[in-house]
Amino acid sequence: MEYKFSNRISSLQPSLIREILKATSDPGVIPFAAGNPAPDAFPIEKISQITRDIFASDPIGALQYSITEGYPALRAACRDLVENHYGVPMAENELIIITGAQQGADLTCKALVNEGDTVICEDPSFIGCLNAFRSYGAKLVGIPMEEDGMDVAKLEYALKNHPNTKLIYTIPNFQNPSGITTSLKKRQEILRLAEKYGVMVMEDNPYGDLRFSGEAVPSIKSMDKNGHVVYVGSFSKILAPGLRVAFAVAPKPLIAKMTVGKQCADVHTTILTQMICERFLATCDLTAHIQKISDIYRKKCQLMIDCIDREFSPKVTHTNPEGGLFLWCTLPEGADMLDFCQRAVQAKVAVVPGVAFLADETTPCRSFRMNFSTPTDENIIKGVSILGKLTKELY
């Protein structure tokens, strides 16, 4: 049979990251292309104990259907976390539990964006959310990243020239893939422009708790007085990504529509994993846990940067993230980035070509993403040495 796929899915291609990750199934390949938290960051013993306790005390509650908005005890805990830890007033906002942060992008787009509308995003940006926007027929407009966030002058130019813009998508803390943190001044300007042009901002913050240097910057949502920001947080990077538990905070009318959209998608996020997250928040020292995992990433990031500075050609530049899981390397003028990435895989080191993260994948790109959280320290040293030789041979 010849299958005729829908317009919204026929133009989508498999994630380039996922295709490259297939190479990492070979245990001999060093996985700088991954984006997984470090295995030693998982609180395995605590989660195991919590799970046993749940099945001992409330097995039916863990296995039965529940409400779309989320497990009530977790919603209450998240509301408290959002107000007291992230500084976001909840009086005019509501909160919904979602199945991973990417569902926040999907539901926001489902609620706000019609086919042909524009979504403005950072360039580069997270490919998972870019594909979510593409699946709704959105036109993507990328805004180049500077050292302190997107170029806000070009953001305003794009808003002026795309009057059907519905959403500005930003990852302000330790951005995936660049590792860049958006400055307070630029966060204020992004919000000002959203208000001026009557568009929404989706503030995606899965990495915000993983700060290991510098000073914390207030969220855009904490400054939102007029209901222009959707804030998405996640337990994937501070507990475990396999739990698939995240949350979205937005003005009440928008959360109501996102709830209807979620009912059409998965009815509700898995209740057992929601209960695990709630019990963890109730019984564990979250601050101490976050400090522990931040220390892990501080050491791994510094090790990778030290190795890059020692091994790479001086013509290759890189970002210096203050947190998160990634850094961004850029080859010199005239370099063939895709050829470099292919040579790296042949040498048993996987990195992600930067073009995978662009709104327009035909845009010239000389950058690639490296992940420091997944590989062992020994593999960081070995892998960077291999890549360093390639940079010196080619550039």
Residues 31 and 120 both lie in one domain: no
Same domain, 224 and 263: yes
- What pLDDT shows up at residue 380? 98
Residues 138, 121: contact at Cβ < 8 Å? no
Residues in the chain with pLDDT < 70?
A: 11-25
- State whether 147 and 199 are in the same domain: yes
pLDDT for residue 3: 78
Are 30 and 77 found together in one domain?
no
Residue 94 belongs to some domain of the structure:
yes
Point out the domain boundary residue: 228, 254, 283: 283
CB 89 within 8 A of CB 231: no
Assigned domain for 297 exists: yes
Do 94 and 198 reside in the same domain of the chain? yes
pTM of the model: 0.94
The pLDDT assigned to 319 comes to 98
Select from 321, 338, 127 the least CA-distant residue to 208.
Answer: 321
The pLDDT value given to residue 312: 97
| Helical spans, DSSP H, in the chain | 7-10, 16-21, 44-57, 59-63, 72-84, 101-112, 127-135, 152-161, 184-197, 252-265, 271-283, 286-311, 337-346, 377-394
Number of domains in the chain: 2
Position 2 in a domain: no
Residue 36 sits in the same domain as residue 55? no
Cis check: omega of the bond before 72, within 30 degrees of 0: no
Closest residue by Cα to residue 170 from 139, 214, 200: 200
Q: Last residue of some domain: 283, 307, 322?
A: 283
Range of the domain at 301: 10-43+288-394
pLDDT of residue 2: 78
Question: Dihedral of CA 172/178/180/186: which sign?
Answer: negative
